[in-house]
Structures are given as C-alpha cells and as structure tokens.
Amino acid sequence: MVSELRVLIAYLSYSGNTEEVAAYIGDYFNREGITVEWHRIGIDALNDPAYYDLIFLGTFTWERGSTPDEVKDFVLEVGYKPENMAIFGTGDTQFGGDDLFCRAADKLAKFYGSSYPVLKIEQSPRGSQESKIEQWLEGVLDNAKSYA
C-alpha cells in the first residue's frame, strides 16, 4: 500500500527556492494520504535514514557547480548510500549555463546511484514548473509502488 510509505524529505535552502520545491513534494504526498517527515539540513537532528522507504534529498547548487558544505556534512552523517534516494535541486542557468545547472543535484544522484531521474528546477518552482515536479513525482511513486 502506497499510503503506508515512510517518506523523508531532506533539503537545504538559503533563499527559499529549494524549500518551495520540498513543500510542493510534501503537499503532493499529503494529498495522496501519506504523511511525510522533514529534515532541514543543518538545523534538525537526523532520524535513522534506514527507517524510510523513500528519501527525497534537495539542494541548491553553489559556486561553479559546487555542493553546499551543509549537504556534504549531511552525506557524511547518513554514512552509507541508501538505495531509495530521489534527488531534486534548484539552480540558475545564469551561473554557468547547462553544464553547471543543478550540478550539485547531479553529483548527489551519481554518488547515491539514484534510480530516479534528477528533478532540476530553475529558481522558484512557482508557476509553469509545478507540473514538472508533479510529473517527476508520479514517476518516482510508480517506481516506489512496484517495491511496496
């Protein structure tokens, strides 16, 4: 039963864009009758990641495509590579075009061997990009259901 999925949304956000994507993901699951748990990277204490069926990890991308230090610390804190990580990121193509766009999210997905495509959102997801999040989530959930 998908409603019994245990879902964690972990994210880092400085100026709110990645937080907006995280909130959208949380709302989507709530509409599906699934209560999610939250981990604000760098703020909250981390629960045992092994408890969750699905872990969403969201980050923005920092200078020249780098991963924020807080996210690197989170990776160390998790301490192993959960197989059920779905990665999302926000970025801005003005900082280096497609090559560097959401590079931190790409690197995390590669590191974790994520079986899901990376969701990349340009700045705020509000407006036309909301449908992109929704489609991505449907794909993630279809895949997750096949394991449930």
Ligand X SMILES: Cc1cc2nc3c(=O)[nH]c(=O)nc-3n(C[C@H](O)[C@H](O)[C@H](O)COP(=O)(O)O)c2cc1C
Q: Which residues bind ligand X (CB under 6 A)?
A: 13-19, 60-65, 90-92, 95-96, 100-103, 123
Measured from each CB, the residue nearest to ligand X is 91
CB contact at 8 A, 83 and 113: yes
Measure the CA–CA gap between 89 and 120, rounded to whole angstroms. Answer: 5
Closer residue to ligand X in complex, CB, 2/23: 23
Tokens read off for 66:
């780098």
Closer residue to ligand X in complex, CB, 5/107: 107
In a 13 Å sphere around the CA of 62, the CA atoms on its Cβ side amount to: 11
The CB-of-5 to ligand X minimum distance in angstroms stands at 25
Angle between helices 103-112 and 69-78 (to 10 degrees): 10
Closer residue to ligand X in complex, CB, 57/144: 57
CA dihedral sign of residues 43, 48, 51, 55: positive
The CB-of-136 to ligand X minimum distance in angstroms stands at 16
Bridge partners of 55?
A: 8, 85
The CB-of-10 to ligand X minimum distance in angstroms stands at 13
Closer residue to ligand X in complex, CB, 28/106: 106
The CB-of-42 to ligand X minimum distance in angstroms stands at 12
